[in-house]
């Protein structure tokens, strides 16, 4: 009988092959063994014991039996291009005749969004198979798990229902990656920096300069929308137009790098150069966007050094003969000059630099072997002096805001004094070549390039340990140096050979550009595309286009121009 157990007694102990044949099955039915080949089975009957065998048959024409061919197991690397992937698994169908088949997925593991299986109709032979496709969306799941996917089915005849679960094991690789961002910015009014924002989370994940390539480390792998927000003086800058868009879609793969590049033009406002003319006791203002003279501003006697406050409000001028300090309000271009000998009688005060917070001026005084620190609050007053040692003859000064240090060349003792801006005291003395008269720091703060006037060369100094690298020969009587914002080139004004040396800081190769007579100082435009060189004896300024190192303009200024600074508008 069906669904019954029966016994065969008194069998000789041995191995038997047993077959089962259905008799009188229901009308219009065909009985199918499960598994299909199991109508014969082998059983052993031990001595004094019993052997058992079980036969399973399916005699219902509308009943569907489904088994998964295999479980699903895979590793998914977050952020890879196959972030949405389809996984197919064959399901074995048995005893299907004249039926239609449909599937409905019930999600039992995170990350799987749906199952796609086309409904099947008609006759399907026992043992046939159909592929069910699982669609896995990695962005909705960031952890490993072991689970399964349930599928329900309904046959077309009789409405018989059933359910099967396919085991799924998924391992997720979420090793942090790197986001590399590149910015290229042109125009007269550049931002101080860009905030790099994650649009979805609304958070700033890094900052980058207007012309820089930067790696943002430790980024969770996945798909991102990155937005660039230009910033100037702590506020949003709204004068920049981006090529294509200021938003980029970028994929950061696990343990790898995703890249995004942005190009923008930032317009608005003029850029002005201020030239100290020692022979005509004035400062010439040049509109750098047109290379035209705006006006001449009267200052003290024999202006020699000039600097702009980082907040872009004032220009400060040292007058070496009258020992006065002149303060120019850039909004009105009106100068106010201190009393005579404010800088100290016969102080030899030439160069000047302003603190990053615009509160103090630092003036090397060769006549007193010190640096005068001036409080720039109105009215200006002496804050303190920093002694550099008898006979040191300080001449040039530069401030690195990131390092929080001032570097002062000591021409008589062939050294550079390092001053802490926090304590206003000397912290180190670097030994350099003979007759140091100018210095520039690389943008990354690792190297100082010191101009040696007597040895007619530039000496690179490693700031980490103060050691000197091989010197680089330049022109005759070099007096000034600047380094491009990308740190790739240095430009040196050579007063004795009437040219500018161009040093490739990567290859140490050197070329030269002819300029006017007796170049004494050099400054770069805010966008880093042009250099402006003061020529003492020809009373003019040479404009060099850095893309091809060509002089494209010459601007006549006052008499005996000695120094120059360039300031972009504050916005």
Using the Cα atoms of residue 293, residue 298, residue 303 and residue 308 in order, give the sign of their dihedral.
negative
Residue 146 banded pLDDT, cuts 50, 70, 90: very low
Asked whether the beta carbons of 385 and 371 are under 8 A apart, the reply is yes
Asked if 42 and 54 touch (Cβ cutoff 8 Å), the reply is no
- Residue-level pLDDT at 134: 52
**Comparing 509 with 60, which gets the higher pLDDT?**
509
Q: In the predicted model, is pLDDT for residue 138 greater than 60?
A: no
Q: What is the pLDDT of residue 84?
A: 44
- pLDDT over 70, % of the chain: 73
Task: Tell me the average pLDDT across 81-102.
Answer: 48
- pLDDT at res. 552: 96
Q: State which CATH number among 2.40.37.10, 2.60.120.10, 3.30.1330.80, 2.60.40.10 fits the domain covering 65-173.
A: 2.60.40.10
Per the model's pLDDT, the better-predicted residue between 162 and 212 turns out to be: 212
Is pLDDT at 164 greater than 80 in this prediction? no
| Res. 319 pLDDT band, cuts 50 70 90 | very high
How far from 391 is each of 301, 370, 399, 414, CA to CA, in Å?
Answer: 26, 10, 23, 11
Is 185 a residue whose pLDDT tops 50?
A: yes
Q: How confident is the model at residue 51 (pLDDT cuts 50, 70, 90)?
A: confident
- Domain covering 272-567 in this structure, CATH number: 2.130.10.10
- For 522-554, the pLDDT digits (tens) are 999 988 899 999 999 999 999 999 999 999 999
Whole-number pLDDT of residue 316? 96
Q: Which residues pair with 514 in a beta bridge?
A: 499
- The pLDDT, as a whole number, for residue 519 is 98
Q: Vertex 358, ends 357 and 361: CA angle to 5°? A: 120
> What's the CA gap between 208 and 193, in Å, rounded?
6
Rounded to the nearest 5°, which phi and psi values hold at 343? Answer: -85, 0
269 confidence band (pLDDT: 50, 70, 90): low
The CA–CA distances, whole Å, from 262 to 246, 249, 256, 443, 516 equal 7, 12, 20, 21, 38
Residue 106 above 90 pLDDT? no
Q: Each residue of 34-47: pLDDT tens digit? A: 555 556 778 787 87
Q: What is the pLDDT of residue 4?
A: 67
For residue 96, what pLDDT is reported?
47
Does the pLDDT of residue 302 top 90, yes or no?
yes
pLDDT of the residue at 172? 63
**Does 179-266 match 65-173 at the fold level?**
yes
Cα dihedral 140, 141, 146, 148 in deg (nearest 10): 0
List the single range of 155-159, 440-444, 453-457 with lowest mean pLDDT: 155-159
pLDDT digits (tens, 9 = 90+) for 373-405: 999 997 899 999 999 999 999 999 999 988 999
Report the pLDDT value the prediction gives residue 71, as an integer from 0 to 100.
54
pLDDT at site 68 = 47
Greater confidence (194 vs 21) lies with 194
Q: Which of 502, 396, 450 is nearest to 459 (CA)?
A: 450
Q: What would the pLDDT profile of 420-452 be if each residue is shown by its tens digit?
A: 999 999 888 888 878 899 999 999 899 999 999
Q: Which CATH architecture has domain 179-266?
A: Sandwich (2.60)
**The pLDDT value given to residue 570:** 45
Q: What percent of the chain has pLDDT over 90?
A: 46
Q: Report the pLDDT averaged over residues 484-506.
A: 96
So where are the chain's domains? 14-58, 65-173, 179-266, 272-567
More confident call, 228 vs 102? 228
């Amino acid at each position: 009988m069906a669904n019954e157990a029966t016994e065969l007694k008194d069998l000789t102990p041995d191995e038997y092959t047993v077959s089962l044949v259905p008799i009188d099955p229901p009308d219009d039915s065909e009985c199918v063994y499960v598994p299909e080949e199991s109508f014969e089975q082998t059983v052993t009957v031990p001595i004094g014991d019993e052997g058992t065998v079980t036969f399973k048959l399916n005699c219902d024409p509308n009943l569907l039996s489904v088994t998964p061919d295999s479980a699903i197991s895979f590793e998914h690397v977050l952020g890879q291009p196959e972030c949405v992937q389809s996984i197919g698994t064959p399901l074995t169908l048995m005893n299907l005749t004249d039926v239609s088949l449909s599937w409905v997925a019930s999600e039992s593991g995170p990350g799987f969004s749906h199952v796609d299986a086309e409904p099947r109709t008609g006759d399907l032979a026992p043992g046939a198979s159909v592929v069910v496709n699982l669609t896995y969306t990695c962005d909705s799941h960031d952890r490993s798990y072991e689970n399964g996917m349930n599928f329900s089915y309904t046959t077309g005849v009789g409405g018989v229902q059933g359910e099967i679960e396919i085991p799924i094991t998924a391992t997720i690789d979420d090793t942090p990656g790197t986001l590399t961002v590149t910015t290229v910015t042109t125009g007269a009014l550049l931002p101080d920096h860009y905030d790099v924002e994650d649009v979805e989370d609304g958070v700033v994940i890094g900052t980058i300069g207007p012309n820089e390539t930067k790696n943002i480390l430790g980024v969770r792998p996945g798909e991102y929308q990155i937005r660039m927000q230009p910033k100037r003086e702590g506020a949003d800058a709204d004068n920049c137009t981006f090529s294509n868009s200021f938003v980029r879609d970028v994929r950061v793969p696990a343990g790898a790098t995703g890249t995004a590049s942005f190009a923008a033009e930032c317009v608005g406002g003029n850029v002005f150069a201020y030239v100290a003319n020692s022979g005509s006791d004035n400062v010439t203002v040049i509109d750098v966007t047109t290379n035209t003279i705006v006006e001449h501003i009267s200052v003290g006697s024999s202006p020699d050094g000039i600097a702009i406050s980082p907040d872009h409000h004032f220009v400060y001028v040292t007058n070496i003969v009258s020992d006065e300090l002149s303060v120019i309000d850039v909004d009105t271009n009106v100068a106010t000059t201190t009393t005579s000998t404010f800088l100290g009688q016969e102080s030899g005060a030439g160069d000047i630099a302003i603190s990053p917070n615009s509160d103090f001026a630092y003036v090397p005084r060769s006549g007193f072997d010190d640096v005068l620190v001036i409080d720039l609050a109105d009215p200006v007053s002496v804050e303190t002096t920093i002694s550099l040692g008898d006979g040191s003859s300080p001449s040039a000064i530069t401030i690195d805001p990131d390092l929080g240090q001032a570097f002062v060349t000591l021409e008589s003792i062939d050294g550079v004094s390092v001053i802490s801006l926090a304590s206003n005291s000397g912290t180190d003395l670097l030994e350099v070549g003979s007759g140091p008269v100018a210095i520039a720091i690389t943008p990354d703060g690792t190297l100082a390039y010191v101009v040696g006037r007597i040895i007619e060369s530039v000496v690179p100094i490693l700031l980490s340990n103060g050691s000197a690298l091989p010197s680089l020969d330049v022109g005759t009587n070099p007096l000034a140096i600047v380094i491009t914002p990308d740190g790739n080139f240095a430009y040196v004004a050579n007063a004795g050979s009437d040219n500018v040396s161009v040093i490739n800081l990567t290859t140490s190769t050197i070329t030269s550009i002819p300029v006017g007579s007796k170049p004494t100082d050099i400054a770069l435009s805010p966008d880093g595309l042009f250099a402006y060189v003061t020529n003492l004896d020809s009373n003019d300024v040479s404009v060099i286009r850095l893309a091809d190192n060509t002089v494209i303009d010459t601007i006549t200024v006052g008499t005996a121009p000695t120094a120059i600074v360039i300031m972009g508008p504050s916005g």
